A = this chain, B = another copy of it.
Amino acid sequence: MDAITMYMNAALDSARTVKGFTAPNPAVGAVIVRDGVIIATGSTSPAGGDHAEIHAIRAAGENCRGAELYVTLEPCSHWGKTPPCSEAVIAAGFSKVIIAMEDPNPLVSGRGTSQIRAAGIEVITGICETEAHQLNEDFFYYITHKKPWVTVKLAMTLDGRVADSKGSSQWITGPESRRFVHELRAKHTAIGVGRGTLETDNPQLTVRGVEGKNPIRIAFVSDATAGKATWFRDHARDERTIMVISDTSNQRIETASDGVELWFTGSASHLESLDRFLTMAGEQEIDSLFVEGGSGLVSTFLELRAVNRFYLFYAPKLLGGGTDGLVLAEPHPMNQPIALDNPQWHQFGNDMMITGVASWL
């Protein structure tokens, strides 16, 4: 790995530490390098706080002069809740600025870079661009579509089963995989389950065993009485808790006596209801949703083609029968599958996980 990639990776690592905490801002990291040594790092503060570059510049102080700045996203050029970072970068006196990717936000997109270049500072862009994009793919999707980025997780046996023939699914994967699922929960704004999962598994949908904030909890049901006596409803005042209700009544948002937000989508059709939910969620600034099942909810998201990324876990075991992980009303032919683009495989203990961006061939 060359030095420039190494320093940008350090900036990416810095960004990853705050992923999930920065909404409605993207998670960004910055490092300042002087004479081949990282002298300061920074990452985005929670909403409305300082951006990554500002933290790093403040930490390095006068040592910025003549140093190199590595930042995972183009410095902003506009007044938001904070002043434009491009001005601070110019004032700091860097000899060189290395940027992983241009900001797709139409308020910035290239302007930050232009301003820095116009001040006579050398700017290099496109270093670790893929990684930088993936880190904030949910954010970039949300600001352009105004709908949440949807991630689907499934844990399966090697023959694609999510439960045995008696319905038992605990535990398919090992502790390392389950720990990573909690990391994924922490990186999403909301987590969603179907009615079957809500009532059968009675899940807490919290982040446990890793650092991170609990996501907003969402259950997809067909009437407001679902989930009685579940942990979900009983703890509705601990975290924002939403039941999305597909019925024929008018679209509206109410609050139940136990504190659950009731989102009536105004449609009893599963597909149309989910589509309307995505718009409502966008309006409520829910920029990412982690769908943990069950199979029916996942299938509806897939039929709507509303899945952006998959996380599929495989445990090294076979059943030879049971519940298939994925059953669509209209299965795809072999030459037109749902493909996982840019697939990445990671091992967790004895399990394997594949992640990739959904694309319909």
Closest to A303 in B: B320
Any chain B CB within 8 A of the CB of A334? yes
> Chain B residues with Cβ under 8 A from A326's Cβ?
159, 318-320
* Interface residues in A297-352 (C-beta closer than 8 Å to B): 299, 302, 310, 312, 314, 316-322, 324-328, 330-335, 337-340, 343, 345, 347, 350, 352
> Chain B residues with Cβ under 8 A from A331's Cβ?
164-165, 319-322
A159 in contact with B324 given A168-B335, A314-B314, A354-B316 (CB within 8 Å): yes
> Chain B residues with Cβ under 8 A from A160's Cβ?
156-161, 324-325
Which of B172, B320, B325 interacts with A328 by CB under 8 Å?
B320
- In the assembled complex, the CB of A222 is this many whole angstroms from the nearest CB of chain B, namely 22
> Chain B residues with Cβ under 8 A from A165's Cβ?
331, 333
Q: 16 A-B contacts, Cβ less than 8 Å apart? A: A158-B340, A159-B160, A159-B324, A160-B160, A160-B324, A160-B325, A164-B334, A166-B333, A317-B340, A318-B337, A318-B338, A319-B328, A319-B332, A319-B333, A321-B331, A352-B354
Interface SS majority for chain A? loop
- In the assembled complex, the CB of A328 is this many whole angstroms from the nearest CB of chain B, namely 3
Asked if A338 and B314 make an inter-chain contact with CB atoms under 8 angstroms apart, the answer reads no
A337 in contact with B319 given A325-B159, A345-B352, A352-B345 (CB within 8 Å): yes
Measured CA separation A172–B312 after assembly (Å): 18
Measured CA separation A219–B202 after assembly (Å): 50
Asked if B299 and A337 make an inter-chain contact with CB atoms under 8 angstroms apart, the answer reads no
> Chain B residues with Cβ under 8 A from A317's Cβ?
337-340, 361
Known: A159-B160, A320-B327. 9 other contacts (CB 8 A): A156-B159, A158-B310, A159-B324, A317-B338, A317-B339, A317-B361, A318-B340, A319-B328, A321-B327
> Chain B residues with Cβ under 8 A from A319's Cβ?
326, 328, 331-334, 337-338
Measured CA separation A322–B326 after assembly (Å): 11
Measured CA separation A302–B320 after assembly (Å): 9
Measured CA separation A163–B172 after assembly (Å): 24
Closest to A161 in B: B160
Measured CA separation A333–B163 after assembly (Å): 9
- In the assembled complex, the CB of A309 is this many whole angstroms from the nearest CB of chain B, namely 12
Asked if B316 and A356 make an inter-chain contact with CB atoms under 8 angstroms apart, the answer reads yes
Measured CA separation A339–B158 after assembly (Å): 10
Any chain B CB within 8 A of the CB of A251? no
> Chain B residues with Cβ under 8 A from A345's Cβ?
345, 347, 352
Which of B164, B333, B361 interacts with A164 by CB under 8 Å?
B333
Any chain B CB within 8 A of the CB of A95? no
Measured CA separation A251–B247 after assembly (Å): 67
Asked if A337 and B166 make an inter-chain contact with CB atoms under 8 angstroms apart, the answer reads no
Asked if B334 and A170 make an inter-chain contact with CB atoms under 8 angstroms apart, the answer reads yes
Cβ proximity bits A157-198 to B, threshold 8 Å, 1 near / 0 not: 111110111101110100000000000000000000000000
- In the assembled complex, the CB of A151 is this many whole angstroms from the nearest CB of chain B, namely 15
